[in-house]
Chains A and B, each alone.
Chain A
Amino acid sequence: MLDIKNLHAEIGGKEILKGINLTVRPGEVHAIMGPNGSGKSTLSAVLTGNPAYKVTEGEVTFYGKNLLEMSPEDRSHEGIFLSFQYPVEIPGVSMVNFMRAALNAKRKYYNQDPLSASDFLKLMREKRAIVQLDNKLASRSVNEGFSGGEKKRNEIFQMAVLEPRLSILDETDSGLDIDALRIVAEGVNKLKTDNNATIVITHYQRLLDYIKPDVVHVLYKGRIVKTAGPELALELEERGYDWIKEEVDNAK
């Protein structure tokens, strides 16, 4: 579904991604690991069209369509979802209104009528259960006053409502205690089908105990320097990143 070829991107004139190649097929879970500053979050920002980043070279197709030409909202409609590392607060905008705007924008894209209020509320109730999100949270303003764990659960809740084809989880484990981590991971696993795929961006192995990857990539200095099975994550947990850094830096 997703084909990334020789992707280069920069922010403020500084090149961060230096030739990424990656193919993701339906049903797969990819983990992207790597030391701080290696470009993991930049990759998620570029794939979702964050205007702060500039693509300088390469191509990205999503189900054959040129992703880089699409607006951020069209990428969302096409089925790309980002669970943000730092979900933003939008004061005064209730989660209900926010999600209704999001869902109806998507339905409009596919020439469907907006959901009726009762169908929408029913959908919200169903999806809330997946991440055990409190009814009260759903009626509060978007992320305002949410704890770290609540924010991440709220991201997965939105993912459940929008039913993306490709979900990118950017450091979803950061700032979570072990109980919250389990709830979030269980939510992600419940949403998993043979037709959708997940890219898990993480620094640590911990999250991968709950969300089992098919493939693990290591990103370092803007390139994918190693790709292997789930055992690679365990090895990284044990040995850290230094040996990979050395391998790459010495190869130069």
Chain B
Amino acid sequence: MKEQKDKSKKDESIIKDATGGDYKYGFVTDIDTHVIPVGLNEDVVRYISRTKGEPEWLLDFRLKAFRHWQTLAMPRWAHLDIPEIDYQSISYYAAPKTKPSPGSMDDVDPELRRTFDKLGIPLEEQMRLSGVAVDAVMDSVSVKTTYRDRLAELGVIFCSISEAVKDYPDLVKKYLGTVVSYRDNFFAALNSAVFSDGSFVYIPKGVRCPMELSTYFRINAANTGQFERTLIVADDDAYVSYLEGCTAPMRDENQLHAAIVEIIVEDRAEVKYSTVQNWYPGDKDGNGGIYNFVTKRGLCRGDFSKLSWTQVETGSAITWKYPSCVLQGDNSIGEFYSVAVTNNHQQADTGTKMIHIGKNSRSTIVSKGISAGFSQNSYRGAVKIAKNATGCRNFTQCDSLLLSDTCGAHTFPYIDVQNESSIVEHEATTSKINEDQLFYCNQRGIPTEDAVGLIVNGYAKEVMSKLPMEFAVEAQKLLQISLEGSVG
């Protein structure tokens, strides 16, 4: 009897420990930051463009987007309870007050260097995991991009998008907004108007990028939004593996992050895009945390091109995100592998769209949702096969794992097939973490917390195994930390 009580008491305290804000990236860097006054109007858009020294065509692009945004209302169709956001109370540009010159290490402010060290992203090249180049972005600007020279020898361009606008204007102009138009949706229009930094990647014809490219996004300043923009182009027969990571300080108010990622994949080229999303999720009562409203889309324009999205989503108070593939080239391939974890009061509505336009194009969707606490976790996915896209295939597997009686898991699949020769398969399961499994682990000496970690990582293995080696271990730990003590 006593033992029973002790056990439930222990479980309760584990839950408290784990959900009591064990977010290890929640610190704030004390650095002099230039933050423009809150509010959004044409002057702010012009100011951002001028500060970045942009050409006329880009200012036009921003203004068109802004004017369009003003005609739109925030989308409400997702299974999310989004509080009213006052877009006039956010500052749209914040830059650490040091001269950002991502080229040279000596110019990086020591405080910024320490910040990224603390996050496990050392900016000194010799310190990095060999084989990974990093673009580090704090608030609205890129702080440093490593290994640029070595990559340049191969013709690979890896730099901040602001520099790309200056140094490679033709490339940026050719591709920017071609996959995600500013007219695409509310957040895409907002981003197109005020986007600040992000990464630009160009892999020339026939080049296999020899190292992982990664961008690390950090929100630091308060009351600001982060609106980054990433553009990746893989020319014919090129290959690149790209990884994105993100964290933010713990704050009681919510902060907005509305990014756009555009990817263009030409003939026979391949892009692997992996995300480990660990924005501050808010506290255990649902106060604070990042609103992560992101539009990510890739265009498989070339025949036999391939785009693979892998995401491990553990952070953010609210996530609204559907990394998608437009499979325009014949025989092109789209993949989406996702693990989305929600705990406490987090909400996630995430999934993908696979748009089959090219003949014999194929897509695979594997989504693993894990919900705990009072969270809501939805998979939303669309598979569309156009009339002339004959011989296409899609396989979708969509699993949900529930760790509490108070959370919700939902699945919203949309399937639209316009021809007879294509095959679409959809499998879905929902399961609860099994007490017999936990006891089996306990009997072998494995404590409940570790057992949950093992079981959850086992459940998510199919997706985790798609991550680049260097990050798989980190992601596994993150999964475990996000759920620590969530089984009572």
Binding site for B on A (CB under 8 A): 48-52, 54-56, 68-73, 75-77, 81-82, 84, 87-88, 90-93, 97-98, 101-103, 105-106, 109, 141, 158, 162
Contact = CB atoms under 8 A, between A and B. Distances in A.
B166 interface: no
A68 B5 CA distance: 12
Interface string B428-442: 000000111101111
Given A55-B1, A90-B437, A48 B443 contact: yes
Sorted nearest first, the 8 A-B pairs with minimum C-beta distance are A92-B458, A93-B458, A72-B442, A76-B445, A92-B461, A102-B444, A105-B445, A88-B440
23 contacts: A50-B439, A51-B7, A56-B1, A69-B3, A71-B10, A71-B442, A72-B439, A72-B443, A73-B447, A75-B443, A84-B440, A88-B440, A91-B459, A92-B460, A92-B462, A93-B454, A93-B455, A93-B461, A98-B444, A98-B446, A102-B445, A105-B446, A141-B458
A101 B442 contact: no
Nearest to A97: B454
A245 B461 CA distance: 51
A218 to B, nearest CB: 26
A162 B444 contact: yes
Nearest to A56: B1
Contact of B457 (A72, A77, A93): A93
A158 B444 contact: yes
Contacts of B447: 71, 73, 105
Contacts of B6: 69, 71
Interface of B: 1-4, 6-7, 10, 434-437, 439-448, 450, 454-455, 457-462
A73 B442 contact: yes
A70 B3 CA distance: 7
A87 B443 CA distance: 11
A66 to B, nearest CB: 10
Contact of A92 (B434, B444, B457): B457
B442 A87 contact: no
B442 A49 contact: yes
A52 B443 contact: no
A88 B436 contact: yes
Nearest to B461: A92
B395 to A, nearest CB: 19
A19 to B, nearest CB: 16
Contacts of A93: 454-455, 457-458, 461
A97 B455 CA distance: 11
A109 B457 contact: no
Contact of B434 (A50, A51, A88, A141): A88
A88 to B, nearest CB: 5
Contact of B3 (A68, A73, A109): A68
B434, B450, B458, B460 — which one has the most chain A CB atoms within 10 A of its CB? Answer: B458
A158 B443 CA distance: 11
Given A49-B442, A76-B444, A77-B445, A105 B1 contact: no
Contacts of B443: 48, 72-73, 75-76, 81-82, 84
Contacts of A88: 434, 436-437, 440
Contact of A101 (B1, B446, B448): B446
Contacts of A106: 445
Nearest to A107: B445
Contacts of A50: 439
Contacts of B445: 73, 76-77, 102-103, 105-106, 109, 162
A55 B1 CA distance: 6
Contacts of B457: 92-93
Contacts of A75: 443
Contact of A69 (B2, B434, B448, B454): B2
A101 B450 contact: yes
Contacts of B444: 76, 98, 102, 158, 162
Given A51-B435, A73-B442, A76-B444, 17 more contacts: A49-B3, A55-B3, A68-B2, A69-B2, A70-B3, A71-B7, A71-B442, A73-B443, A76-B443, A87-B440, A88-B436, A92-B458, A92-B459, A97-B454, A98-B441, A101-B446, A105-B447
